[in-house]
Structure 1
Amino acid sequence: MGSIDCMHWEWKNCPAGWKGMYQGRSKRATVILEVVVSWDLWIWHAFFGTPGTCNDINVLQRSPVFDDILNGRAPQVNFTVNGNTYNQGYYLTDGIYPKWATFISAITSPQTPKQKLFTIKQESIRKDVERAFGVLQARFAIIRHPALAWSVEMLWKIVMACIIMHNMIVEDERDNYMNYWDPTEFSTEQPENLAGSSRRGATTFTVTPGRYKDQNLATLMATRENLCDKQINTSLKNDLLEHIWASFGSTFVNSP
């Protein structure tokens, strides 16, 4: 579903009383931005405001990235890899993230050709999130330089404004919008779009709505346990390894 990672934004005018909380390994006060980025650099999840003393794991514990799944509002997902079916999407991560069913990281020390190919493919795609941070900072000098505002709320507004404008640029420049130059395309909401399907740009997709109902504590805990299942993480990574090898292994073996 995308790649997830965090970026530190230096906070030059951090109040003196807060510097201990926001000062991380760099010995400078920073505020953390967590995002999920798709292949075209569209940022569809952003969580900002965590102190710079936190690492990616601490940010994840506070992040609302899984709130829709835990509350039963997320669309249902089903896909098959290497003959096995899974009902949860996953994010590509670096090695610091936990081995959950919803996270797939690269293999730290790949030994076999299969593992090496899997790591190459995973790392090449996960660079999308790093590239998105670079594009954000290149487009908006205000977040490339140390922040001068005096409150986290003001910094949050600045970051969100930059992300919204970034997504507007990405949407405008996507090549799969065949008629994006025609303003009448967006003048009215089409019923099929409301139902979860779209024909824009000759592309069709269907989303199964989530369960819009209150959940009790037992269901909530069971859903969280499935999200954090390490066995599913191992099984999914092995299936992805076999799938990638079946798709690209011959090219990898014959490459110089």
Structure 2
Amino acid sequence: MGESPDTMDDYMRMSERTARESLYTLSRGVVETFGDMYLRKPSLHDLQELYAAHEERHGFPGMIGTWKGQYASGHHRSPSLVLEAVASQDLWIWHAFFGVAGSNNDVNVLDQSPIFDDLLNGKAPDAPFMVNGNEYKYGYYLTDGIYLQYSTFVKAFHHPVEERDKIFKRRQEGARKDV
């Protein structure tokens, strides 16, 4: 989470060394157990399966996943923890970021995401899909309004007026709630 191990001394009631060793052991176990399956970039086959699953469930062709972020506990009025995730229908987490709210907003978190490194560097795999007879080269993510204007982000309308825009906003927000 970008925190030093000694920040957890009081909260976890353990020494800095024990906290560091425990975190290392847990991380190593997760990587050894799940690394081959889940700690890899999606293949073209993976992306095509995601397209099919999201289109069947939500009606959005070419959708890779949804971005969801910021958590506010019941006694805080504003977000107290940032938990951003992109997950598929089988709970394959493509991206996760945990941190304290404040300077960690959606844009800062995106800058730290390995998901978009390849896309921004022109190295993302082509994963074409068709909509209304038009072929698109890359899939997209459903997001809220703060994200940058990338072609891979589809945002909901802020104040939809037309009925079709209202329907899209409801369906888009419903899909984002799955995360």
Using the size of structure 2 for normalisation, the TM-score is 0.53
- Structure 1 pair 9/122, CA: closer, same or farther in 2 (3 Å)? closer
Q: What SS does the aligned partner of 2:94 have?
A: strand
Q: What SS does the aligned partner of 1:116 have?
A: helix
Q: What SS does the aligned partner of 1:126 have?
A: helix
Determine the C-alpha separation between the residues in 1 that align with 2:96 and 2:167. Answer: 30
- 1:52-91 superposed matches below 5 A: 52-54=101-103, 55-71=105-121, 74-91=124-141
Determine the C-alpha separation between the residues in 2 that align with 1:64 and 1:37. Answer: 14
Kindly, what percent of the aligned residue pairs are identical?
Answer: 53
Deviations 1:232-253 (A, max 9, x none): xxxxxxxxxxxxxxxxxxxxxx
Match of 2:158 in 1: 108
Q: What SS does the aligned partner of 1:92 have?
A: strand
- Structure 1 pair 81/105, CA: closer, same or farther in 2 (3 Å)? same
Determine the C-alpha separation between the residues in 2 that align with 1:44 and 1:72. Answer: 19
Determine the C-alpha separation between the residues in 1 that align with 2:150 and 2:122. Answer: 19
Greater helix proportion: 1
- 1:30-179 superposed matches below 5 A: 32-49=82-99, 51-54=100-103, 55-71=105-121, 74-129=124-179
Structure 1 counterpart of 2:135, one-letter code: T
Q: What SS does the aligned partner of 1:7 have?
A: coil
Deviations 1:204-241 (A, max 9, x none): xxxxxxxxxxxxxxxxxxxxxxxxxxxxxxxxxxxxxx
Aligned length: 113
Match of 2:65 in 1: 2
Deviations 1:53-108 (A, max 9, x none): 12212221232221233455543211111222211111011122123201011111
User: What is the deviation of 1:46?
Assistant: 1.7
Structure 2 counterpart of 1:128, one-letter code: D
Q: Mark the structure with the bigger radius of gyration.
A: 1
Higher relative contact order (CA 8 A, sep 6+): 1
Greater strand proportion: 2
Determine the C-alpha separation between the residues in 2 that align with 1:70 and 1:109. Answer: 30
User: What is the deviation of 1:115?
Assistant: 0.9
Determine the C-alpha separation between the residues in 2 that align with 1:110 and 1:4. Answer: 21
Deviations 1:172-196 (A, max 9, x none): xxxxxxxxxxxxxxxxxxxxxxxxx
Q: What SS does the aligned partner of 2:139 have?
A: coil
- Structure 2 unaligned regions, length at least 5: 1-63
Given that 1:5 and 1:56 are in contact with CA atoms closer than 8 Å, whether structure 2 keeps it comes out as: no
- Structure 1 pair 44/52, CA: closer, same or farther in 2 (3 Å)? same
Structure 2 counterpart of 1:75, one-letter code: P
